[in-house]
Structure 1
């Protein structure tokens, strides 16, 4: 009962791989099954304990009776996989390439026909799918070793990787979960990009921050390389906004508080990331994932920063650097003004991006996702070079950079909304975004530590006094024209 990868012609790296799940192996290979192939004098319990996979392989090729000779020769599961060595005269000599017993020879195959040995070597891979025992571990496996994945579907292609969804079999996870786990599998186009991202993810993993992505494992399968992540069942932040398109009546106090708590968490995650001399460098709503532990009728779960393929680590203080780093993100919308300059980048690079995201968050809270779309459309319509298309900043008269009128109108609209009255948490959020985050000069931009302190103060006050977050009004005001309302 091998499980075959459902690759549907579009998941080439996984095509042709099948595996026998460990729970199925344990169900099929029992002492009674093995005993039926042996004499009463044979130690069938020891065979089940030490050579269960060997017996299963023999079952695949209908040669179960040969377990006695192989077991006497010392062949155990730990010796797998086996490889054929030598020339034609030693074709029936197999050698272990298992990690613990590499190089051990087994001459008990000397009486086998060549075709039988080929079948054995080919079918052994069915029982060799790895087990993931530690979150964030790295696994090196042979190019023929299957991953314990099935129902694999291609979902995205990026500049340096292809991303698939799939199901990770529960029997290959320790401790075993109650059900199989849906995962995202990133197949890297090159080992260089794989090792680059792996280094960053290892540092992120060590932080153990609930708002930073924690990967399940990295895998090198011959010349192929993968990173396996938990599946974000709520999609990304844009998906979340689209799921709740209307401003009212879904924006309850609980919704507002949860959103502010998530913003605190995201900034705290940046504070932790910056604390180990890393920048994300490509923050945008679709790089923030939503892990939802609530039912579809309520807002909840956790927003998590992911996609660290552009992340940069400072080997020396960025204030001393004068090189233009090749870390340009693929979209200019959330990039700060210094993204295209030759000035050294600081960790405040990320703070501009998170400010733009938080501005859209505030727009969504008050007016819904359609308002964000209209605001983005106006940003795209402004005259700007391709490197600033749709961005929250604009070049005028050479090197002079300004906040474009569309963004200024957006801030005015938010401040003038009666629900954003002076002294409310919402007013505090808008002030933080406009005065401290979306600031042209990075030296005048608030860092993650200052930003999280200000956001925490808002949340702490709101938890004590729910009316602090937003001013109640009898009827919501009209949507401002900058957000798609009628003029």
Structure 2
């Protein structure tokens, strides 16, 4: 141990002044990496070493300074902070001479399960030796046990992870249970902020800007949010990120979901949600995504009536094309894990026994992607993404394999559920027919028709349409499905609900009706909303037809607006 140094004390004080607390009110802290780099410049490191080791000649001082600044900056910060707390400074050069660098952090307990431990390099965790006592860092061998414990604890102050973006892969981080996350905003434990489902939990965080290069706000979004100068304006410019934590702790469940999400993200379709990174923390798997202010249903509610102007209507039409294109990407995706048959979620079965049927997947379809739960709540609106203007963009989300497999129970707060009856599920489920990618086409048709309704009649029209569909179904349950089931003897059949057909005819008489609206309604009625899956359009042709409609609308305002 070395005597205290004024330079070291000043450096430690500056670093401590920059520490931030996580979790909120958790009494644990991290120092942002940019502050470490800012305060541990070469001159500062050299001054500390010179004061602690006055006997060191210029050559030795230069060599030690360069080594620390290039390979052991975090380690140096840990030792300086430890020394400022405990009194004498540890023998920094002895530890560095033990060939410990930042690559070896965090320092691991040796032996890992003993209360009497020393510290070793991170890779020691995979050490095959039966007797580990000699695996520790030799420079620490003379340290007292409580000093070792303090160093083991204090190191986390400078080890908050940095999440980086890579062009060709999605990085997976395996984090120690003691990790302090670099969150400067965390809504996990705030009332009403957590979204919980059968497979995952989702909440909002903000990562310190120096600890992520995953995602940045668009310039227009930053300008809108920073109009007023205040302390809050800086926080408003830090991107909000959605953390999705899987309920399952099984690695195979994570691998299945991660494989699909990663590969779809690398397709770079602008209308598919982008997976930013993944991490394992406290034996649970987490996914990071951009956080959306609104889902499509909330967007409809907030923007109650579309302005019947070229820019506005064309944007809506282009979003429909974009969503269809994204669906085609999903449908063309070959999964590494076959999407076999499964039962409905127990909660759905309990609330509506007639839905207690087995989802039987067509064998020829098992290796192709399906979304399996398309609904307005699973389409997000972003107004803060780079490369998109203030009008924003819609993206399909909730692409987990649980959604590929199952008819999951909806949230009890989900407005699209009436007594456990999922509004957008196609009839083949209840009819116990084979499920294919056509499953999504029916769901998309329902959303499509609601979208057209919103374009013409606003959110009030969507509510009126839902009320028009409300009937007591064959199992005496009140639902708002787009089809009706009926029996002929022991056989079940389905037909498009008459109220849906009547609604389409009503839209054809709307004052905003145009040839563009005509073509959209024809597409929904004739090619998408078909009970027989063989009669439903495929995603590739749907994309092609919509592309032609958009091209015509872009060049012909009369076709677009009437």
Normalised TM-score (structure 1): 0.84
**Which residue of the partner structure matches residue 408 of structure 1?**
501
Unaligned runs of 5+ in 2: 1-17, 129-134, 218-236, 334-367, 411-416
Q: Is the 8 A contact 2:529 2:536 kept in 1?
A: yes
Please give the secondary structure, in 1, of the residue aligned with 2:455. helix
Report the CA distance between 1:291 and its aligned residue.
Answer: 1.4
Aligned with residue 207 of structure 1, among 258, 267, 277? 267
C-alpha separation between the residues in 1 aligned to 2:92 and 2:126? Answer: 19
Please give the secondary structure, in 2, of the residue aligned with 1:303. strand
**Which residue of the partner structure matches residue 12 of structure 1?**
none
Deviation readout 1:430-478 (Å, 9 max, x if unpaired): 111111111111111111112111111111111111111121xxxxxxx
Q: What's the C-alpha RMSD, in Å, of the aligned pairs?
A: 2.9
C-alpha separation between the residues in 1 aligned to 2:326 and 2:529? Answer: 19
Report the CA distance between 1:32 and its aligned residue.
Answer: 3.5
Q: Is the 8 A contact 1:310 1:329 kept in 2?
A: no
**Which residue of the partner structure matches residue 318 of structure 1?**
none
Aligned with residue 309 of structure 2, among 244, 249, 252? 252
Please give the secondary structure, in 1, of the residue aligned with 2:162. coil
Tell which deviates more after alignment, 30-39 or 270-279.
30-39
* 2:209 is aligned with 1:170: yes
Report the CA distance between 1:328 and its aligned residue.
Answer: 4.5
Cα gap change, 1:405/1:137 in structure 2, threshold over 3 Å: closer, same or farther?
same
Cα gap change, 1:459/1:176 in structure 2, threshold over 3 Å: closer, same or farther?
closer
Report the CA distance between 1:187 and its aligned residue.
Answer: 1.4
Deviation readout 1:76-132 (Å, 9 max, x if unpaired): 211111122149999463211249997963111122221111011111122222222
Aligned with residue 274 of structure 1, among 319, 323, 331? 331
Tell which deviates more after alignment, 337-346 or 169-178.
169-178
Aligned with residue 397 of structure 1, among 458, 462, 487? 487
* 2:106 is aligned with 1:46: no
Report the CA distance between 1:305 and its aligned residue.
Answer: 0.5
Aligned with residue 361 of structure 1, among 444, 451, 454? 451
**Which residue of the partner structure matches residue 18 of structure 1?**
29
Q: Is the 8 A contact 1:388 1:394 kept in 2?
A: no
**Which residue of the partner structure matches residue 128 of structure 1?**
159
Aligned with residue 59 of structure 1, among 80, 83, 103? 80
* 2:247 is aligned with 1:189: yes
C-alpha separation between the residues in 1 aligned to 2:171 and 2:476? Answer: 41
Cα gap change, 1:31/1:386 in structure 2, threshold over 3 Å: closer, same or farther?
farther
C-alpha separation between the residues in 2 aligned to 1:236 and 1:89? Answer: 50
Normalised TM-score (structure 2): 0.73
* 2:114 is aligned with 1:94: no
**Which residue of the partner structure matches residue 316 of structure 1?**
none
Report the CA distance between 1:275 and its aligned residue.
Answer: 0.9
* 2:176 is aligned with 1:142: yes
Q: Is the 8 A contact 1:170 1:176 kept in 2?
A: no
Report the CA distance between 1:67 and its aligned residue.
Answer: 1.6
Please give the secondary structure, in 2, of the residue aligned with 1:440. coil
C-alpha separation between the residues in 1 aligned to 2:161 and 2:183? Answer: 10
Deviation readout 1:395-427 (Å, 9 max, x if unpaired): 123512122222122111111224324xx1111
Q: Is the 8 A contact 2:118 2:145 kept in 1?
A: no
Report the CA distance between 1:334 and its aligned residue.
Answer: 0.6
Aligned with residue 219 of structure 1, among 263, 273, 279? 279
**Which residue of the partner structure matches residue 372 of structure 1?**
462
Unaligned runs of 5+ in 1: 9-14, 314-324, 472-487
Aligned with residue 2 of structure 1, among 4, 16, 19? 19
Q: Is the 8 A contact 1:288 1:304 kept in 2?
A: yes
Aligned with residue 441 of structure 1, among 512, 532, 535? 532
**Which residue of the partner structure matches residue 479 of structure 1?**
none
C-alpha separation between the residues in 2 aligned to 1:246 and 1:403? Answer: 27
Q: Is the 8 A contact 1:79 1:101 kept in 2?
A: no
Question: Aligned runs of 1:425-440 on 2, under 5 Å?
Answer: 425-440=516-531
Q: Is the 8 A contact 2:372 2:406 kept in 1?
A: no
